[in-house]
Chains A and B, each alone.
Chain A
């Protein structure tokens, strides 16, 4: 499928002033941006593309290096793989669980629990998260994956006066929203999200298979139930190849 596309789409212009590697890089980048090449697609072997374009293999290698530098592709055991990924439109337009958002991308979602423990936060610490007073929380730190690739790491603070004995029943790998609806009859009605672009600290980067300092979208979420109570504080970090869209309608 991809080989077929490439035959038609990656070409170079020998009259143009710009070097071949820049031309190839720009062509592939545009094809990734408009989603002709999609997440986890494989680019052709450098020698095959070079043969097709009748140029030296080093031009293609150089183009691939430039694309890697810009985080559009990654070299893996499968070859040069597209890492660029866009979340579907509604992630920041509608209250969607990360688990469902990953599914909506056509990826197989899974959750790995890194840590879960009961903690008590002081009044000061609890207030920093938006809760009124000191209390006990179940703190969970989990990795969300698509097709077994880490995409997002998310910490949640669940107040145990609302979720009584949650530490006894919560396994750690189940989607959170469905769990609290089933066990507590509460549903995550509204979510207030604030996002930032940050450099990943090393202790988070290692779980996402990223280098320390890699760029990431970080988001804090305050989740409110049907009674307008704050029932969850969440802090997430994405891999650097994770993108999302938001639409402004005028």
Chain B
């Protein structure tokens, strides 16, 4: 807690001094997302100040959404980049490889997952490729993604697939398939412990589950992608117009 400095000889109230030190530490990057702050008692002990002052300082920072309290765990820094996009630009992270880094976690070919087969309109025991990945910005996860592609539509896949390639590029450039539209379904769910781990959030925090069906020419389904975005750090916007 050496980023806190209190001068008791000046008029500025103790709580304001504590709050502004922590604010500055966050701004300067000394404290980063998910860092744990000292407990109220720890600050009281070191600086010999009242618990009320520390409470007020923390409350101010909580109101400003710079930190947050998690029951039974402590107080944490919350500031983190928010992925803010138009609904129509959901896959913006694929278009800017300098800003977003892709890490592949899993590559597989599977024939026994009923839900995915149903979404891809495959027969039972027809195979599909699975790619799981995390997309990060400044080392913090933006989205955790599972990509499913029917095997029979993507010949020589192992040869043509490059680690980290965007799914839009893969379908439309590498395989020259026309994507006519992407149907997205948005739902809120609680992060499981593994999703929380991959998204660098806490279990049970709200996440966006966005399922995308890629529709090709002839209205056939050429891919299915399941995206998990951390709820607190993702915003989608749209301006809609009423029909007169």
Q: How many residues of A contact B (CB 8 A)?
A: 46
- Say whether B189 contacts A215, CB under 8 Å: yes
Are A198 and B87 in contact, CB atoms less than 8 angstroms apart? no
Expressed in whole angstroms, the minimum distance between the Cβ of B114 and any Cβ of chain A is 5
A250 and B181 contact, Cβ closer than 8 Å, known pairs A187-B242, A190-B242, A215-B190: yes
Interface residue total, chain B, C-beta cutoff 8 A: 40
B186 touches A199 (CB 8 A): no
Binds A, one of B24-32, B154-162, B201-209: B201-209
Is there an interface contact between A193 and B237, defined as CB atoms closer than 8 Å?
Answer: yes
Q: Cβ of B113: which chain A residues have Cβ within 8 Å of it? A: 26
How far does the Cβ of A115 sit from chain B's closest Cβ, in whole Å?
23
Which A residues are in CB contact (< 8 Å) with B119? 30, 33-34
A188: chain B residues within 8 A (beta carbon) = 242
Residues in chain B near residue A247, CB distance under 8 A: 181-184
Which residue of chain A lies nearest to B228 when distances are taken between CB atoms in the complex? Answer: A197
- CB atoms of B112 and A213 under 8 A apart: no
The answer to whether the Cβ of B39 comes within 8 Å of any Cβ in the partner chain is no
Residue of A192, A197, A242 touching B239 (CB-CB under 8 A):
A192
Chain A CB within 10 Å — which of B90, B185, B187, B234 has the most? B187
Residues of B within 8 A of A245 (CB): 183-186
Report yes or no: A195 in contact with B236, Cβ–Cβ below 8 A: yes
Instruction: List chain A residues, Cβ under 8 A from B186.
Output: 195, 217, 243-246
Stretch at the interface among A92-100, A106-114, A161-169: A92-100
Indicate if the CB atoms of A86 and B182 lie closer than 8 Å: no
Cβ A216 vs Cβ B188 within 8 A? yes
The answer to whether B208 touches A191, judged by C-beta atoms less than 8 angstroms apart, is no
Q: Is B179 an interface residue (CB 8 A)?
A: yes
Are A30 and B183 also in contact (CB < 8 A) when A196-B235, A215-B206, A216-B206 are? no
Residue of A nearest to B236 (CB): A195
Contacts A190-B240, A191-B240 given; does A197 touch B207 at CB 8 Å: yes
Residues in chain A near residue B237, CB distance under 8 A:
192-195
B contact residues vs A (CB 8 Å cutoff): 87-88, 90, 112-115, 118-119, 179-190, 204-208, 229, 231-232, 234-244
